[in-house]
Amino acid sequence: MIKPFKLLNGYIYSDEYTIPNEPPYGISRRHWNMLPLDLRGGNSRHMEVYIEGWEAGRNNIVSNPYMGINYPQVIEWCELWNRGYGEFINRVGQNNRL
């Protein structure tokens, strides 16, 4: 059991108490395990867009479907898609160097 502890900025932090251990409905365990901690338990659309980017990298798709749409929410999705895509590419690149 992880005891919660206080960060320097005054917030209480503990993975066990702040992040669900089980994936929410509609997200597989594989995708849940590859999500960064800051996206877990948050907005489900943000998790889905990150996963879309990850899977696009896995399937050699380089075109971001959210690119060029100038709505604030979609710009955020564009960045999340790029983040997921980049994380997959970085992971594959590191594995190929071994």
**At residue 70, does pLDDT exceed 60?**
yes
CA distance 33 to 59: 19
Contact (Cβ atoms closer than 8 angstroms) between residue 62 and residue 56: yes
Res 71 pLDDT > 80: yes
Q: What is the DSSP string of 27-56?
A: --HHHHHHS-TTTTTS-HHHHHHHHHHHHH
Q: What is the separation, in whole angstroms, between the first and last Cα of the chain?
A: 35
Report which of 58, 13, 63 is spatially closest to residue 38, judged by C-alpha positions: 13
Per-residue pLDDT at 3? 53
Q: What is the mean pLDDT of residues 12-27?
A: 62
Q: What is the pLDDT of residue 59?
A: 93
What pTM, to 2 d.p., does this model score? Answer: 0.71
- When pLDDT is cut at 50, 70 and 90, the band that residue 98 belongs to is very low
The pLDDT tens digits of the residues spanning 22-65 come to: 788 888 888 888 899 889 878 889 999 999 999 999 999 999 99
The reported pLDDT for the residue numbered 21 is 65
- Residue 85: closest CA among 47, 46, 58, 48: 58
